[in-house]
Amino acid sequence: MGHRPAAVIEALQAQLARGWTFGAPTEAEVRLASLVSDRMPAIEMLRLVNSGTEAAMSAVRLARAFTGRRKLIKFAGAYHGHADALLVEAGSGVATLGIPGTPGITPAAAQDTVVARYNNLSDVESAMARWPRQVAAVIVEPVAGNMGVVPPLAGFLAGLREMTRDSESLLIFDEVITGFRVARGGAQELYGVTPDLTCLGKVLGGGLPIGGYGGRREIMEQVAPAGPVYQAGTLSGNPLAVAAGLATLDALDDSIYRQLESVGARVAAELASAAAAAGVPLTVNRVGSMLTAFFAAGAITEYATAKQSDTAQFAAWFRSLLARGVSIPPSQFEAAFLSTAHDDDAITFLHSKLEESFTSLLASTTT
Ligand X SMILES: *Cc1c(COP(=O)(O)O)cnc(C)c1O
Please name every residue paired with 97 in a beta bridge, in sequence order, or none if there are none. 114
Of the two residues 57 and 267, which places its CB atom closer to ligand X in the complex?
Answer: 57
Of the two residues 302 and 310, which places its CB atom closer to ligand X in the complex?
Answer: 302
Of the two residues 52 and 159, which places its CB atom closer to ligand X in the complex?
Answer: 52
Among 5, 52, 206, 245, binds ligand X (CB under 6 A): 52
> From CA 85, how far away is CA 358, in angstroms rounded?
40
CB atoms within 10 A of CB 14: 11
Among 51, 120, 248, 305, binds ligand X (CB under 6 A): 51
Based on the shown chain and the rule CB under 6 A, indicate whether residue 201 belongs to the binding site for ligand X: yes
User: What's the min distance (Å) between Cβ of 89 and ligand X?
Assistant: 17
User: What's the min distance (Å) between Cβ of 45 and ligand X?
Assistant: 20
Residue 275 burial (10 A CB sphere; 0-12, 13-18, 19+): buried
State which H helix or E strand residue 160 sits in. Answer: helix 156-166
Of the two residues 55 and 271, which places its CB atom closer to ligand X in the complex?
Answer: 55
Q: Please, are residues 203 and 180 in contact by the beta-carbon 8 Å criterion?
A: yes
DSSP structure class, residue 152 = P
Based on the shown chain and the rule CB under 6 A, indicate whether residue 167 belongs to the binding site for ligand X: no
Show contacts with ligand X in window 273-312 (CB under 6 A).
none
Of the two residues 193 and 282, which places its CB atom closer to ligand X in the complex?
Answer: 193
Cβ partners under 8 Å of residue 236, min gap 6: 47, 48, 49, 50
Part in contact with ligand X (CB under 6 A); list of ranges 39-47, 169-177, 236-244, 343-351: 169-177
Among 146, 188, 238, 248, binds ligand X (CB under 6 A): 146
Give the x-and-dash track for 60-89 against ligand X (CB under 6 A).
-------------------xxx--------
Name the nearest CA neighbour of 156 among 167, 140, 168.
140
- 3-state SS class at 354: helix
User: What's the min distance (Å) between Cβ of 187 and ligand X?
Assistant: 11
The 10 Å CB-count burial string (b at 16+, else e) for 243-259 is bbbbbbbebbeeebbeb
Among 98, 145, 151, 207, binds ligand X (CB under 6 A): 145
CB atoms within 10 A of CB 356: 14
Residues recognised as catalytic:
79, 174, 202
Based on the shown chain and the rule CB under 6 A, indicate whether residue 238 belongs to the binding site for ligand X: no
Q: Cα angle at 320 between 317 and 325, to 5 degrees?
A: 125
User: What's the min distance (Å) between Cβ of 163 and ligand X?
Assistant: 21
> From CA 48, how far away is CA 246, in angstroms rounded?
13
Q: Cα angle at 182 between 33 and 172, to 5 degrees?
A: 60
Of the two residues 167 and 289, which places its CB atom closer to ligand X in the complex?
Answer: 289
Based on the shown chain and the rule CB under 6 A, indicate whether residue 100 belongs to the binding site for ligand X: no
User: What's the min distance (Å) between Cβ of 181 and ligand X?
Assistant: 10
Q: Which amino acid, 229? A: V
Based on the shown chain and the rule CB under 6 A, indicate whether residue 56 belongs to the binding site for ligand X: yes
Of the two residues 203 and 246, which places its CB atom closer to ligand X in the complex?
Answer: 203
Show contacts with ligand X in window 207-236 (CB under 6 A).
211
Q: Which residues bind ligand X (CB under 6 A)?
A: 51-53, 56, 79-81, 141, 145-146, 174, 176-177, 201, 211
